[in-house]
A = this chain, B = another copy of it.
Amino acid sequence: MATIYDVARRAEVSVATVSRVLNGGSVDPVLAERVTKAVAALRYRPNLVARSLRTQRTRLWAVIISDVRNPFFTDMVRGIEDVASAEGYSVVLCNSDEDEAKEADYVDVALAERMAGVILSPSSYRAAHVNSLASAGCPVVLVDRELDGVRADAVLADNEQGAHIATKHLVEQGFERIACVTGPREYSTAAQRLSGYHAALTEAGRDADESLVRFADFREPGGHAAMQSLLDGPKRPDAVFVANNLMTIGVLRCLTERRLSVPGDVGVVGFDELPWAELVRPTITTVGQPTYEEGRVAAEALVRRIKNPNAEPTRTVLPTHLHVRESSVRGR
């Protein structure tokens, strides 16, 4: 591959001049023309590795998410991508698979590659990885989940509000024994969604009943098992609020297997949009997060953080919306 020296030689100028043409310094139009021609003729592309070493910065972001296959994250990644490419960054997608060790590996790579910044949806409730980024001076933005005792920008959905409207909706539909399947207690999202559920019940003058709550793992089999356990429990629920999309699938599978009708036997509201929520019969009521928007906002926060490393951390909370569909509506 051609280097800047090859271009300089062909254009009969110095490498400094070539560099100026490439980076917009002031140079005589005649020389500039010669350089441009030589660049084209040699199909020269500046070596970004060398440029990065010299300038001490790269155009790469690491986006570390816990599950590439979850539509929630793919949508978010698109939001990030769009901002990134508009700002001249490329996105390195890292799939931590809810595995703390993998997450640590990717953080190491981001640091070793001297990436310009990191967007992280933590797979761990511990702050260690974020702190090692922060102490290395690498800009970080947290997305989806927040971490105790971490000073970093964060972009979150309004989980408590979302869970609140979902539960309130079930109350209003006349369901009596409303259960909740949430995620691991250590995660802010799981805790906040549970707390919104509790708040809505309290507001309706009902006592919280812990035998109607299950802590699962945010995955499909976890949701399935939690629903089974609820159905086999002392107090059989007539409705359930499920705290994420994957677990909602598990819950629905369980209900199908048991030949229980939705919403006749059990009403269902799920957190997170499902791409096929409208296609399933019954259609599924969901609490939608603005996922693409979350990605965009996080990316914009990262851009700001890179430009101004010492600004106060920001915490952006985005509203959620209830999409009422068939699974939660008592027709008759």
Q: How far is the CA of A90 from the CA of B111 in the complex (A)?
A: 13
Please tell me if the beta carbons of A69 and B75 are within 8 angstroms of each other in the complex. yes
Check: A109 CB closer than 8 A to any chain B CB.
Answer: yes
Check: A265 CB closer than 8 A to any chain B CB.
Answer: no
Q: Residues of A with Cβ closer than 8 Å to B?
A: 1, 43, 45-50, 52-53, 58, 60, 68-69, 71, 74-75, 77-78, 81, 85, 90-95, 102, 105-106, 108-109, 111-114, 136-137, 249, 252-253, 256, 274-276, 278-281
User: Which of chain B's residues have a CB closer than 8 A to the CB of A92?
Assistant: 60, 90-93
Copies of this chain per assembly: 2
Please tell me if the beta carbons of B69 and A78 are within 8 angstroms of each other in the complex. yes
Please tell me if the beta carbons of A77 and B71 are within 8 angstroms of each other in the complex. no
The 9 A-B pairs at the shortest CB distance, nearest first, are namely: A93-B93, A281-B281, A276-B276, A48-B112, A48-B113, A49-B52, A92-B92, A45-B112, A49-B53
User: Which of chain B's residues have a CB closer than 8 A to the CB of A279?
Assistant: 249, 252-253, 256, 276, 280
User: Which of chain B's residues have a CB closer than 8 A to the CB of A281?
Assistant: 280-281
For the complex formed, measure the closest distance between the CB of A299 and the CB atoms of chain B, giving whole angstroms: 14
Q: How far is the CA of A184 from the CA of B249 in the complex (A)?
A: 33
A45 and B111 contact, Cβ closer than 8 Å, known pairs A69-B71, A74-B69: yes
For the complex formed, measure the closest distance between the CB of A279 and the CB atoms of chain B, giving whole angstroms: 5
Nearest neighbor of A135 in chain B, beta-carbon distance: B43
For the complex formed, measure the closest distance between the CB of A136 and the CB atoms of chain B, giving whole angstroms: 7
Nearest neighbor of A246 in chain B, beta-carbon distance: B275
Please tell me if the beta carbons of A136 and B90 are within 8 angstroms of each other in the complex. no
Nearest neighbor of A50 in chain B, beta-carbon distance: B53
For the complex formed, measure the closest distance between the CB of A132 and the CB atoms of chain B, giving whole angstroms: 8
For the complex formed, measure the closest distance between the CB of A218 and the CB atoms of chain B, giving whole angstroms: 16
Q: How far is the CA of A69 from the CA of B49 in the complex (A)?
A: 30
Please tell me if the beta carbons of A68 and B77 are within 8 angstroms of each other in the complex. yes
Q: How far is the CA of A85 from the CA of B92 in the complex (A)?
A: 13
User: Which of chain B's residues have a CB closer than 8 A to the CB of A113?
Assistant: 48-49, 60, 90
A-B contacts, 15 of them at CB < 8 A, read: A43-B136, A46-B112, A47-B53, A47-B112, A48-B113, A49-B53, A53-B53, A68-B74, A69-B74, A77-B93, A90-B113, A91-B94, A249-B275, A253-B278, A253-B279
